[in-house]
Structure 1
Amino acid sequence: MTASNPAALQGYRGALLRFDAGGRPIHESDGLLVVRPPSPGQRCASIADVGDYATLRTRYPQLAVTHWPGKLIAPGFIDLHIHYPQTDIIGAPADGLLPWLENYTFPAERAFADFAHAQSVAQFFLDELLRQGVTTALVFSTSHPQSVDALFSAALARGLRLVTGKVLQDRHSPDGVRDATAQSLRDTQALIERWHNKARLGYAITPRFAPTSSPQQLEGAGALAARFPDTWIQSHVAENHDEVRWVQQLYPAARSYLDVYVRAGLVRERAIYAHCIHLDDEDRAEMRVRQAAAAVSPTSNLFLGSGFFDFAAAERTGMPWGLASDVGGGTSFSPFHTMLAAYYVGREGHTKQGLSLQPSQLWWHHTGAAARALGLEGVVGNLQVGAEADFVVLDPQATPLLARRTARAQSLEELLFALIVLGDDRVIAHTQIATPRTDAPD
């Protein structure tokens, strides 16, 4: 391609990691990423060209280029499931999921009735995401509408692509976080109308999980999902054995935990369900057919003793999935820690030999596959022409041990695995957000 106004473009030179449509890695040891600034009608900067530096440089002889020698330019990470109100309870000890909710989560979330508190946590939370190289996130707020306003306002100021929503929980919840059925649905609609598709923001209809929503609230959420079909849906399913048994008692007519959401009209494209550990193949096939996806949260599942996600069953049934930190049940904001925990689970989980997830496969499920799960393929999660220009610059020499190990890497997979095993926030040399236009339409 050629540029109509090459002076308006910006180039970024370094090693490049991107993926083809099948999730296979494409690596240029010396590559060039060409970024076009936003034009009228566009919300943010986009990728104009990408490929081998020597080839592309001849197309753009006057291009201003920022050079990162020895660094790897890669898609920004996508976190498919994370709770911003739980930032301050990360690492809190508990006997399991339900005691953890009772003793830590609900007390922490009560404080988000105060907008100033929510705003303070939102600022720290988003700064931490960016520090870890996460450029898109699907986020739980709390049952308080002001918690949603605080997070969206902070994300808008930073130009982030972020999806969140008010938690729906009208029963089996303590005072201070429990909402009222009809008001919760009115609040949800008002928030959708205020924030959905404003700049790079999106709204997620957010029942906490089936035990804390009455059938009436779930049905109302399903009606809103039908009325606003381009919104997202997020919730939890089949995380913990005690939780699964509780759902069976509360919803005896449902075939399974997932079926509770199916009956409510909440399993469709752009629906993301966290955990999905204790599903059967019928559930997994249902998610595939309905184009819903699992947010796999391995550090959280290990920390709370919830179980192992069955990667082999997901592959066998074609159930879509992507990776997620699930902070604060998850133990780190770092995508490297999440990918390493997923590798452990794949090795030690459900097959006798263990399922070895390839490093590039883990990376794909934290970027391009996660974007596909969100219905944002071609928008974020990959370095491809037309995509929004969110990317990270990684330093394989960020620590002495990492530098020693990556210098001996004999292949891309070996390099990526060294980054996964030994990497943390120090690897993130730079996080680039596709700067939005100040006059972009809402």
Structure 2
Amino acid sequence: MTGPARLPEAATAFGVYLHWPFCAAKCPYCDFNSHVRHAPPDQMRFTAAFAREIRHFAALTPGRTVTSVFLGGGTPSLMEPATVAALLDAVAGAWVVAPDAEITLEANPSSVEAGRFRSYRAAGVNRVSLGVQSLRDPALKALGRLHDAADARRAIALARGTFPRLSFDLIYARPGQEPADWADELETAIGLAADHLSLYQLTIEPGTAFGALHAAGRLSVPDPDAAADLYTLTQEITARHGLPAYEISNHAAPGAESRHNLTYWRYQDYVGIGPGAHGRFTLEGAKRASAAERLPERWLALVEAAGCGAAVSDPLSAEETADEMLLMGLRLAEGIEPARYAALRGRALSSNRVDGLAALGLVETTAEGRLRATPSGALVLNRLVAELSVPERAQAPPVKLRAAGSATRGADPVTS
């Protein structure tokens, strides 16, 4: 994994994640907290509940300045512009919002309209993340998407003409996908992109339609070695075009990184609002976790009755906070500060383990003293974290090159 040696880091970063859980259809690979309803949801009622839960979390985090807001889902672009405006107004009424705050909204090409996009921009959205997933019609059909490649191109062009910043997603390591086909599709995507791409390997998740097909032997995906080769090819092509990976699955021109997602990966504070949303924030000097009720109607009833549909944990332990920071931070090209790990954990990383992994070519120490995964280490990131996080005298699992699923969407810090 390559990228900038060091990205600007604001110690005071504070994000707000708003989860709109409704979709027009459930994609067969998706295990996010998304729900299809035959009747449209009551947006005014849900808006009031979001505002109430926002006020609840604002009371727990007084005096914070919001540096980013992310409207995720589900499909937030199914929201009426007035709903988006009301949610952003509620955030601004509960906290101070930085003048240069990044305000991102996820959108699907099938729900993109010029007037709606202009209204989102007028409401304060300044960055859009499009769920394109593929620029090939057969692949889009196989992935269960409601749009075709022409829709995707129109949505990208419209977003580029409406918002200051744009990113879009693609899924690769799809069934039957050959390296040459992916290279051609990725080159096309880079030609359409602005300055940010999110490129995820397809993962087969339990409980999804693809999971059932895979278990029945009716769906095959590239084996771990082939998937790793596709990952390496992705890094080479994007770096050559000035969009290096700053995180395992995310690529950007310098300065165009997602500030909200960096808040997750740098293990800074954020609150999660809405059905299924998660949060990590500091309360009374200690990091807490929050997790909301996933079913939208149940969450709505809880908020209307008590002001919040989420449970907040007791203070996370030193081991939990340090391990979460390690897991998130090693996804970044900039890596982690070992001193921060030691401060959170109460003990330093094992120098013997670090040296052993460095000898295997899996980690390296930068000139600034940060620890980061090498390109080979990024392929086995989960095993790498397991090796580093165990105490000196404990037995860690052996590290194998090219572990499956190490650079996939399913491993990302999804808050839904």
Shorter-chain TM-score: what band? Answer: 0.3 to 0.5
TM-score for the superposition, normalised by structure 1: 0.40
TM-score (ref. length: structure 2): 0.42
